[in-house]
Chain A
Amino acid sequence: MSGLLETKSLTIGYSQSAGTKILQQDLSLSIAKGETISLMGQNGVGKSTFIKTISGLIPALGGEVFIQNQKISALSKNEMARSMSVVLTEKPYAQNLTVLELIAIGRHPYSGWMGTLNQKDLEVIEWAINETHINYLANHKIFELSDGQLQKVMIARALAQETDLIILDEPAAHLDLYNKIEVMMLLRKIADQGKGVLISTHDLQVSTQLSDKLWLFNFNEEVKIGTPEDLILDGSLEKTLYLEGYGYDMMYGTVENSRKPKGNISVAGPDKEKFWTIQALKRNGFLVKNKADVQIDIRNEKWYILQKSGENVCNSISELLDLLKISYQNLK
């Protein structure tokens, strides 16, 4: 296996004058070509420290990091820059650059003394712009961009650096659903071209739907490695994200309401309507069961409430909820 990145019994943390603070130890992890990996864990567990350590920004407290079978301590800064690019959460300090100028800075490890770009550089820049579908932005200034556009531009800049490994810190943060999906598809495509993608994220959608593997960092525990589905089934993901107390529903990706249930309801109808009706009922503190005294039947985009006292018809979920609340209050 050709590992793009490999860590061998790596210990990460900070050494301060007051003593060293070890965040994670004995990390033996590797990224292969074409792999997308999500690094997950709570705040303070060492995700950023890990990224800083493997990119050579801070020293390792123990163990070694290898990039394509070479120790990073033996690589020059320029060689590092040619094998690993990063997309950070911080915005670029200069806002008055054009998108094209910013992406061109990505060619820094390759361009000459004066930063002049040759034909190859131009081709790579053009390729990066095409891959990320930002041709229409090339002429814009950075301060004119939305968060989603800026994220794609920063990814294009990382692509222009032509590295086999791309590391992204929270690429989906601050993005709306549309932009998040676009960025996710883009990262998938980049990985399919044989690059390794490492993402540090809190986003379940990103981690479970995009990545081949998850690395779960926990406090005082060994790191968990596996496909997202395995880690969901054995409860590791739930544990890492500490969602147990809140009754996190791994199937639907929603948080169970901890309030005392108001009553049992069963729902029947077309899949889509049924799904969202159940969501609404759960949010409002009803328990959804297969059999219950109160039944909701969805037909022709109408909600029929069937109970012993009679039948009601509602035109929307909000009407349904109002009606149910009233009838349950009356019961008490």
Chain B
Amino acid sequence: MISQFLEESKSKWKKLFLILTGLLFLFLIISVSLGSVSISPEGLAQYLISGTAGSDSWDMILSNFRFPKAITAILVGAALSVSGLQMQTLFRNPLAGPYVLGISSGAGLGVAIAIFLGFYFGGILDMSGIGRSWLLVVAAAIGSGMVLGIISLAATKIKDSVTLLIIGLMFGAASGALVSILQFFSQAENIQAYVIWSFGSLGSLSWNELSIFIPIIFIGLISSILLSKPLNALLLGENYAISLGVNIKKNRLLIILNTAVLAGTVTAFCGPIAFFGIALPHLTRMLFNTTNHLLLTPLVMIFGATLMLIFDTIAQLPGMEATLPINSVTALFGAPFVIYLLIRKRNLNYTY
């Protein structure tokens, strides 16, 4: 009876995963064909088969802009969703997200220091595109890495997970304050450069940067899948998890490291992309009605990647020259959907 039931649910989930993966590819195709210049389906097919779409400008657009951007969107979507999920389960808090431990604030502080101090040392604004983007990446990575280090140290000392959460929030507040002070003393163009960074952007990565971005995110995603089992035990509460043989301190440190590396890398390369990491785990749980992390972890990755592609396609404003900031698009289109689902389900707790 049990094995039969398990077989049925296994085939049901297999089907769902196949459909979702299919959707991901469909939206990948749509995403790379739409934009200020539309690329015809035949051209795209030709490009995928023979490596050229039949026109130099199309080739250039596809290989230098559209594909890097689409790959970035997929990885960012998967990374932020899965780190949000892990933080929500670890802290047993529906408001937790990838940035709850202060990762993005740390990155923001690093970038702010780079931009505002860079002005005094010859001016970051004068630097050429590549040098400048790498400087920002390094600054953000140092900032988030420092927060990560302090939080991990605290995680080995502190027993209670909620205390860690509060320490993370305090970090966010403190670095926010430092950024404000830096802004107060700087000039308009520096503030503008910082504000533009804080909008988030999926389109600033070239293959050069992707060669670092892809492997780091990939390792993070695989570790996330391996961490699903202890996360499942944590669903019963910490005491039950311990009685099941879970080493809480070790696993908590691993989970924090993993999400921090994922969220930190995303922030370093794409800026702080808010909303997505908090909302997407909720969306996934509500839509697919499961809390089992063995299913939920791959689900949020695929679903998050697909949704980020869709948001990115919307942000490109097909047929127009301009691109909207990705942060505004995710919140603008995502929030009403989450609200709708919440009202329909009435109680968030039942989705946990």
Contact = CB atoms under 8 A, between A and B. Distances in A.
Nearest to A111: B229
Given A95-B352, A108-B229, A138-B5, A114 B294 contact: yes
B245 A105 contact: no
A193 interface: no
B2 A129 contact: yes
Interface string A111-125: 101110100001001
A105 B243 contact: no
Contacts of A138: 1-2, 5
B221 to A, nearest CB: 14
A95 B245 contact: no
Nearest to A94: B235
B228 A139 contact: no
A314 interface: no
Interface in B279-296: 285, 289-292, 294
B166 interface: no
Contacts of B243: 55, 81, 84-86
B240 A57 contact: no
B204 interface: no
A181 B278 CA distance: 45
A218 interface: no
B237 A100 contact: no
B232 interface: yes
B229 A125 contact: no
A80 B245 CA distance: 7
B14 to A, nearest CB: 14
Given A88-B239, A102-B236, A122 B3 contact: yes
A96 B350 contact: yes
A82 B243 CA distance: 9
Nearest to B238: A93
Contacts, number: 104
Given A88-B239, A90-B237, A96-B289, A108 B244 contact: yes
A161 interface: yes
A122 B350 contact: no
Contacts of B292: 97, 101
Place the interface of chain B in its size category.
Answer: 20 to 34
A114 B226 contact: yes
Contacts of A109: 244-245
A100 B294 contact: no
Interface string A55-69: 111000000000000
B229 A93 contact: no
A315 interface: no
In this complex, the member of A88, A108, A141 whose beta carbon has the largest number of chain B beta carbons within 10 angstroms is: A108
B10 to A, nearest CB: 11
A94 B1 contact: no
B29 interface: no
Interface string B235-253: 1110110111111000000
Contacts of B236: 92-94, 102, 105
B225 interface: yes
Contacts of A95: 291, 349-350, 352
Interface in B170-205: none
B244 A126 contact: no
B320 interface: no
Interface of B: 1-3, 5-6, 92, 225-226, 228-229, 232-237, 239-240, 242-247, 285, 289-292, 294, 349-352
14 contacts: A57-B242, A76-B245, A77-B246, A82-B245, A93-B352, A95-B352, A96-B289, A101-B291, A108-B232, A108-B246, A117-B6, A122-B6, A138-B2, A143-B349
10 tightest CB-CB pairs across the interface, nearest first? Answer: A81-B245, A94-B235, A115-B229, A108-B244, A78-B245, A96-B291, A126-B2, A92-B236, A109-B245, A86-B243
Given A95-B291, A126-B2, 17 more contacts: A77-B242, A77-B247, A88-B237, A88-B239, A90-B240, A92-B235, A92-B237, A93-B236, A100-B2, A101-B291, A105-B244, A108-B233, A109-B245, A114-B228, A114-B229, A125-B2, A141-B350
